[in-house]
Amino acid sequence: MAGLLLSLSFGVVAQDAGLSQLEAIVMSAIVYAGSAQFSAVAILAQGGGAGAAVAAAALINSRFLPMGVALAPSLRGGVVKRALQGQTVVDASWALASRPDGSFDRGLLFGSSAAQYTTWVTGTTIGAVWGEGLGNPHDIGLDALFPAFFLALLVNEARSGRARGVAALGALIALVLVPIAPAGVPVLVASFAALVGLTRGAREAVFQRQEAEGEAR
Amino acid sequence: MSTGATVIIGAAIVTFAIKAVGPVALGGRELPTWFTSVVVLLAPALLAALVATQALADGDKLAIGADTAGVAAGGVVAWRTGSIVACVLLAPAVTAALRAL
**Average pLDDT, integer, range A75-81:** 88
Residue B56 DSSP one-character state: S
pLDDT (tens digit, 9 = 90+) per residue, A137-190? Answer: 788 888 898 899 889 989 988 888 899 999 999 999 999 999 998 888 898 999
Contacts of B44 in chain A (CB under 8 A): 154, 157-158, 163-164, 166-167, 170, 194
pLDDT (tens digit, 9 = 90+) per residue, B46-89? Answer: 999 999 999 998 878 888 999 999 999 999 999 999 888 899 99
Give me the residue from B3, B20, B54 closest to A83, CB to CB: B20
Distances (CA, A) of A60 to A37, A53, A172: 10, 11, 18
Question: What is the predicted ipTM?
Answer: 0.90
In angstroms, rounded to a whole number, what is the distance separating the alpha carbons of residues A120 and A117? Answer: 5
Picking from A124, A138, A150, A192 by the largest number of B CB atoms within 10 A of its own CB, the best residue to mutate is A150
pLDDT (tens digit, 9 = 90+) per residue, A79-109? Answer: 899 999 999 998 878 878 888 777 889 999 9
What proportion of chain A, given as a percentage, has pLDDT over 70? Answer: 97
| Residue A147 near residue B57 (C-beta atoms within 8 A) | no
With an 8 Å Cβ cutoff, are A153 and B7 in contact? Answer: no
Q: Give the global pTM.
A: 0.85
In angstroms, rounded to a whole number, what is the distance separating the alpha carbons of residues A49 and B49? Answer: 17
In angstroms, rounded to a whole number, what is the distance separating the alpha carbons of residues B11 and A54? Answer: 5
Measure the N-to-C terminal CA separation of chain A; round to a whole number of Å: 33
Q: How many residues does chain A have?
A: 217
| Residue B77 near residue B90 (C-beta atoms within 8 A) | yes
Give the DSSP per-residue string, chain A. -HHHHHHHHHHHHHHHTT--HHHHHHHHHHT--HHHHHHHHHHHHTT--HHHHHHHHHHHHTTHHHHHHHHGGG--S-HHHHHHHHTT--HHHHHHHB-TTS-B-HHHHHHHHHHHHHHHHHHHHHHHHHGGGG--TTTTTGGGHHHHHHHHHHHHH--SHHHHHHHHHHHHHHHHHTTTSPTTHHHHHHGGGGGGGGSHHHHHHHHHHHHHHHHH-
Distances (CA, A) of A2 to A50, B32, B49: 28, 34, 23
Contacts of B29 in chain A (CB under 8 A): 69
In angstroms, rounded to a whole number, what is the distance separating the alpha carbons of residues A129 and A76? Answer: 40
With an 8 Å Cβ cutoff, are B88 and A66 in contact? Answer: no
